């Protein structure tokens, strides 16, 4: 084994604190090290070329780079190894900048010692690395899109125009989503359906798009690249190929009149109806909940398209990628009882006003008071109904409500100039030049803005509405009458989000929208490889953002499938069938459902495995191993960390790759100082931490062990940190039973943005360990 070690100065970022010359001399004496070099900038072309040259000239087969965080340049140096003809997995990166020089600037001597310890730990792991190989498998180039709103439509057309076959599944009888129901869209006040309808038609007519309406995806199995999809299609009771869309014939004779849900229940329609005039497909459907089976529509249909005997269908197909574009649901305003929605007829929602303003709506564009059927003289808009409200569980802003209310207020003012309009707001959120102009234009039109949320709506003896509110700018409480009150209801995730989560194995945030992999760097990726999220499925958005994300998810799917094959991640879990006892614990632990029991043995779907390692840590027979993060590699790092005894409390820390390790990097970037006592071992997830690792660290001489993962409920690997939590809680009880202070095991759930909290936790932990003293005495007593 010939190891090359390269220490980066990073200008003065590292060399200002760490004595690089001393560090180089110490490392050169370690076993297996063939060459040690310190270079000003390792990531520069000359630094990379130096590694390539040494691999060739000195026959190096293992490379360690001690520099910045592996989050920055691990892929860079893997490409360097490939360029030199060396397996890229024979690389180890040691973080001596963010987690050493930058956080220990006040103690250069101990920082240098810590850097040496980290390099020794890296070499210990490096010696056990295997030259992993990437396997490739063929994939299906079809794509499934769930949801036919504007985001799904954009994704479908982008993919289809690029030659990909698309299956679009929409649960409603028409595509178009919420945008198809809007009157006009801000900030240009374009007719909403005018700009959307051509795209809806393009979807229906495109030869590469299979449009499936009145349907739901009920099961998804198999790996990325070859997802097996099951779709349940509800009967329309109308033959799509025969129907001519002439709803006048069948609707005219239907005796059953029902509230039109596409008009928010304000208008009426028949049991057989066209959802909206511009519906795609242009086919009527029968609402089976209300149909009485009289047969009149079948007799009246000139195309003989009515078929009462249609049954629910099950469709099955295979796709390579999935795009989730299920949109959002409106907050149920009746949950805010103080506003009397559903009790007072003149209290409506913004979407109901959209339908009243719409020329194709229930009143053909006339806005009338539901109670008096007269044009209202005073209209009041109430913002943030169901948004920015902890009481109803929606602390977030829904982003579009301010602009939507201003748009509708402008339209009312243009049609009825004498109307007195007031918008009651908490904060006006109209960011961007065009939006600011829109806000100013609303004020110039005479629309009043009052800062302060309406406390309640009361009704006087004459049925008149009275709004009780505080104007927070002058601190006065007022009570004013209004003819029509419009509630700007916020966005919530779709009603069947729980079912969708189960089908696709997706996580959800605390606000109940679907989680994305990273809010900045991966805004349309889900935690499941090959599944992407567009539009309001991942949170409130404006139409243009939803369209952009539709295009982005299409690009992601094309990038994934363009080569017709996928590389199998060698970092996935592997099962040793000789050790496996078929207990099934790993099946329960894997929230991605990527492990099954076959012939009494666990089998991992290696292509789709996320590599968290939670299954490995939970296996009682040690039958599951992670090839690039084996138990042996982690134990070797533990031994290297504890090899040199220190007079100060030593902490071995297991940090998850996604949050706590990134959080430690942030502490360095922010130059937040904390004690040098910590020696970090990076794991993909806190769920990877086997209790045996903790015991090994304590037995080897560590005075304390830190296990830090993502905040509970926000794990990158669908609640794998809950597995770690339960495991560590049980371990603390075991430690207490054998006489070891359970406080020597510190468990933190922390986000990537909490660098200062991370530093404080290290300081507090060190103080605690100093207080209780070295672990040696406790271990001796435990052994006895």
What does the pLDDT look like over 417-471, one tens digit per residue? Answer: 999 999 999 999 988 778 999 999 999 999 999 999 899 999 987 888 999 999 9
First-to-last C-alpha distance (Å) of the chain: 41
Q: How confident is the model at residue 264 (pLDDT cuts 50, 70, 90)?
A: very high
> How would you write 400-416 as a 3-class SS string?
CHHHHHHHHHHHHHHHC
Q: Which residues are CB-contacts of 409 (< 8 A; sequence separation ≥ 6)?
A: 379, 381, 421, 423, 442, 447
CATH of domain 235-311: 3.30.70.20
Provide the 3-class DSSP secondary structure of residue 44: coil
- 135 and 53 Cβ atoms separated by less than 8 Å: no
pLDDT category at 258 given cuts 50, 70, 90 is: very high
Q: Which CATH number describes the domain made up of 572-624?
A: 3.30.70.20
- Mean pLDDT is highest, among 561-575, 593-607, 660-674, for 660-674
**d(Cα 576, Cα 259) in Å, to the nearest integer?**
61
Phi, psi of 510 (to 5 degrees): -65, -25
Distance CA 440, CA 456 (A): 28
Residue 508: how many other CB atoms lie within 10 Å: 17
Question: Is 709 in contact with 715 (CB distance < 8 Å)?
Answer: yes
Region 658-662 average pLDDT: 91
- Report which DSSP code applies to 603: E
Number of H helices, E strands in the chain: 21, 38
User: Is residue 518 pLDDT above 80, yes or no?
Assistant: no
Query: Residue 613 in contact with residue 573, Cβ under 8 Å?
Result: yes
Q: Rounded to the nearest 10 degrees, what angle do helices 108-126 and 20-28 cross at?
A: 30
Distance from C-alpha of 352 to C-alpha of 342, rounded to nearest angstrom: 12
pLDDT, residue 775, reads: 86
Question: Has residue 680 got a pLDDT over 70?
Answer: yes
Note the Cα 366 to chain centre separation in Å: 41
Phi-psi region of 362 (alpha: psi -120 to 50; beta: other; left: phi over 0): alpha
Whole-angstrom Cα Rg for the chain: 32
Q: Are 420 and 377 in contact (CB under 8 A)?
A: yes
Rounded to an integer, what distance in angstroms lies between the CA atom of residue 647 and that of residue 572?
A: 39
Confidence category of residue 784, pLDDT binned at 50, 70, 90: low
The model carries a pTM of 0.82
For 707, the token pair is 């296990």
Q: Are strands 678-683 and 465-471 parallel, antiparallel or unpaired?
A: unpaired
Hey, which bits of 141-180 come out as E strands? 143-146, 166-169
Average confidence (pLDDT) over 314-321: 98
**Edge-to-edge order in the sheet of strand 378-385:** 347-349, 484-489, 378-385, 420-425, 448-451
Neighbours of 673 (CB within 10 A): 16
CB atoms within 10 A of CB 455: 14
> How is residue 650 annotated by DSSP?
P
Q: What is d(CA 524, CA 556) in angstroms, rounded to the nearest whole number?
A: 8
pLDDT tens digits, one per residue of 354-393: 999 999 899 989 998 888 889 999 999 999 999 999 999 9
Q: What is the pLDDT of residues 27-63, one digit of tens each?
A: 999 999 999 999 999 999 999 999 999 999 999 999 9
| Of 251, 316, 318, residue with least CA distance to 284 | 251
Average pLDDT rounded to a whole number, residues 659-685? 95
**DSSP-assigned letter for residue 564:** S
- Helices (H), ranges, 670-719: 691-700
Six-digit token string for 492: 């919530």
- Asked, as a colleague might, if the bond just before 748 is cis with ω within 30 of 0, I would say no
Dist. CA 510–CA 394, nearest whole Å: 9
What are the two backbone dihedrals, phi and then psi, of residue 565, each rounded to the nearest 5 degrees?
-155, 155
Q: How many CA atoms lie within 13 A of 604 on its CB side?
A: 31
- pLDDT-derived band at 593 (thresholds 50, 70, 90) equals confident
* Cα distance between residue 67 and residue 207, in whole Å: 53
Please state, in angstroms and rounded to a whole number, the distance separating the CA atoms of residues 401 and 513: 18
Q: Long-range contacts for 709-713 (Cβ within 8 Å, ≥24 apart)?
A: 709/656, 709/659, 709/660, 709/685, 709/748, 709/749, 709/750, 710/656, 710/658, 710/659, 710/660, 710/686, 710/749, 710/750, 710/751, 711/659, 711/749, 711/750, 711/751, 712/749, 713/510
Three-state DSSP at 255 gives coil
Do 135-234+314-328+493-567 and 331-488 come out as alike in CATH topology? yes
Q: For residue 544, what is the enclosing H or E element?
A: helix 543-561
The more confidently predicted of residues 370 and 102 is: 102
Residue 88 token pair: 């890229």
Strand partners, 533: 324
CATH fold for the domain made of 629-784? Rossmann fold (3.40.50)
Cis status of the peptide bond prior to 696, with omega within 30 of 0: no
Give the Cα separation of 385 and 335 in Å (integer): 9
**Topology of the domain comprising 1-133:** Rossmann fold (3.40.50)
Reported confidence tier of residue 218, pLDDT bands at 50, 70, 90: very high
Domain boundaries, the chain: 1-133, 135-234+314-328+493-567, 235-311, 331-488, 572-624, 629-784
- Across the range 93-108, mean pLDDT stands at 97
- Provide mean pLDDT across the span 616-625: 94
CB 572 within 8 A of CB 592: no
Using one digit for the tens of pLDDT, what is the confidence trace for 692-713? 999 999 999 999 999 999 988 7
Beta-carbon contacts of residue 176 (< 8 Å; ≥ 6 apart): 148, 149, 150, 153, 193, 196, 197, 200, 276, 278, 279, 280
What percent of the chain is predicted at pLDDT more than 90? Answer: 86
CATH topology of domain 331-488: FAD/NAD(P)-binding domain (3.50.50)
Which run of H or of E encompasses 268?
strand 268-270
Q: Which residues make beta-bridge pairs with 37?
A: 6
Contact 147, 140 (CB under 8 A): no
Output the CA torsion sign for 752, 755, 760, 765. Answer: positive
Taken in order 457, 458, 463, 464, the sign of the CA dihedral is negative
Cα-to-chain-centroid distance, residue 35:
44
Report how far residue 667's alpha carbon sits from residue 709's, in angstroms, rounded to the nearest whole number: 16
From residue 720, give the alpha-carbon distance in Å to each of 224, 308, 617, 641: 20, 48, 11, 26
Q: What is the pLDDT of residues 150-199, one digit of tens each?
A: 999 999 999 999 999 999 999 999 999 999 999 999 998 999 999 999 99
Under a CB-based contact definition with an 8 Å cutoff, are residues 383 and 439 in contact?
A: no
498: CB partners within 8 A, 6+ apart: none
- Domain at 135-234+314-328+493-567, CATH class: alpha beta
Strands 704-709 and 745-749: parallel
DSSP state of 344: B
Residue with more model confidence, 527 or 27: 27
Q: Is the pLDDT of residue 135 over 90?
A: no
Spatial separation of the C-alpha atoms in residues 518 and 529, rounded to whole Å: 13
* Paired strand residues for 480: 467
pLDDT at 688 over 90: yes
Question: Which among 255, 246, 252 has a CA at the least distance from the CA of 304?
Answer: 246
């Amino acid at each position: 084994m010939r190891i090359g070690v390269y220490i980066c100065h990073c200008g003065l970022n590292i060399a200002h604190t760490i004595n690089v010359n001393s560090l180089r001399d110490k490392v050169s004496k370690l076993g297996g090290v063939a060459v040690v070099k310190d270079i000003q900038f390792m990531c520069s072309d000359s630094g990379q070329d130096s590694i390539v040259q040494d691999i060739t000239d000195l026959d190096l087969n293992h490379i360690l780079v001690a520099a910045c965080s592996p989050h920055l340049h691990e892929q860079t140096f893997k490409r360097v190894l490939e360029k030199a003809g060396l397996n890229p997995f024979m690389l180890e990166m040691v973080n001596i900048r963010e987690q050493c020089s930058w956080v220990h600037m006040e103690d250069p001597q101990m920082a240098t010692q810590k850097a040496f310890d980290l390099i020794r730990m890296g070499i210990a792991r490096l010696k056990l690395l295997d030259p992993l190989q990437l396997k490739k498998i063929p994939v299906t180039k079809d794509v499934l899109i769930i949801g036919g709103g504007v985001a799904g439509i954009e994704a479908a057309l982008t993919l289809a125009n690029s030659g990909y076959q698309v299956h679009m599944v929409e649960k409603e009888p028409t595509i178009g989503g919420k945008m198809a129901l809007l009157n006009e869209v801000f900030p240009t006040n374009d007719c909403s359906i005018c700009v959307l309808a051509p795209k809806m038609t393009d979807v229906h007519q495109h030869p590469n798009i299979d449009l499936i309406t009145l349907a739901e995806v009920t099961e998804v199995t198999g790996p990325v690249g070859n997802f097996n999809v099951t779709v349940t299609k509800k009967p329309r009771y109308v033959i799509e190929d025969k129907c001519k869309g002439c709803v006048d014939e069948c609707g005219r004779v239907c005796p059953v009149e029902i509230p039109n849900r596409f008009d928010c229940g304000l208008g009426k329609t028949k049991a057989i109806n066209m959802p909206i005039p511009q519906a795609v497909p242009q086919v009527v459907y029968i609402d089976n909940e209300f149909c009485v089976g009289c047969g009149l529509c079948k007799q009246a249909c000139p195309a003989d398209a009515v078929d009462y005997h249609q049954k629910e269908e099950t469709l099955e197909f295979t796709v390579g990628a999935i795009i989730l574009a299920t949109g959002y649901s409106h907050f149920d305003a009746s949950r805010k009882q103080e506003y009397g929605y559903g009790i007072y007829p003149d209290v409506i929602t913004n979407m109901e006003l959209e339908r009243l303003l719409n020329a194709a709506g229930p009143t053909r564009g006339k806005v009338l008071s539901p109670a008096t059927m007269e044009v209202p003289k005073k209209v009041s808009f109430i913002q943030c109904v169901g948004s920015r409200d902890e009481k109803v569980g929606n602390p977030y802003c829904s982003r579009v409500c301010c602009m939507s209310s201003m748009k509708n207020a402008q339209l009312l003012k243009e049609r009825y100039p004498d109307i007195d309009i007031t918008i009651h707001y908490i904060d006006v959120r109209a960011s961007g030049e065009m939006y600011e102009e829109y806000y100013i234009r609303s004020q110039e039109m005479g629309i009043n803005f009052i800062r302060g949320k309406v406390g309640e709506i009361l009704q006087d003896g004459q049925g008149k509405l009275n709004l009780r509110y505080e104007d927070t700018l002058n601190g006065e409480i007022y009570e004013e009458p209004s003819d029509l009150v419009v509630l700007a209801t916020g966005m919530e995730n779709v009603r069947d989000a729980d079912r969708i989560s189960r089908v696709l194995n997706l996580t959800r945030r605390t606000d109940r929208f679907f989680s994305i992999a990273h809010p900045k760097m991966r805004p349309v990726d889900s935690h499941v490889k090959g599944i992407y999220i567009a539009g309001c499925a991942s949170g409130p958005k404006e139409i243009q953002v939803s369209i952009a994300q539709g295009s982005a998810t299409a690009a992601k799917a094309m990038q994934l499938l363009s080569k017709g094959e996928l590389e199998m991640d060698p970092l996935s879990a592997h099962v040793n069938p000789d050790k496996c006892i078929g207990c099934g614990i790993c099946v329960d632990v894997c929230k991605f459902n990527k492990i099954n029991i076959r012939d009494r043995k666990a089998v991992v779907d290696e292509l789709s495995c996320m590599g968290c390692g939670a299954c490995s840590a939970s296996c009682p027979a040690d039958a599951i191993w992670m090839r690039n993060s084996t138990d042996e590699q982690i134990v070797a790092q533990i031994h290297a960390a504890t090899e040199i005894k220190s007079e100060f409390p030593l902490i071995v820390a297991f940090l998850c790759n996604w949050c706590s390790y990134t959080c430690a990097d942030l502490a360095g970037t922010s130059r937040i100082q904390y004690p040098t006592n910590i020696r970090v071992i990076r794991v993909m997830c806190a769920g990877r931490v086997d209790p045996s690792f903790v015991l090994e660290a304590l037995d080897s001489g560590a005075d304390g062990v830190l296990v830090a993962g993502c905040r509970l409920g926000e794990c990158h690997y669908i609640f794998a940190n809950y597995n770690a939590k339960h495991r560590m809680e049980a371990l603390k009880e075991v430690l207490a039973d054998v006489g070891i202070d359970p406080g020597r095991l510190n468990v933190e759930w922390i986000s990537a943005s909490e660098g200062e909290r991370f530093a404080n936790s290290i300081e507090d932990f060190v103080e605690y360990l100093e207080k209780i003293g070295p672990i040696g005495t406790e271990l001796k007593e435990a052994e006895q």
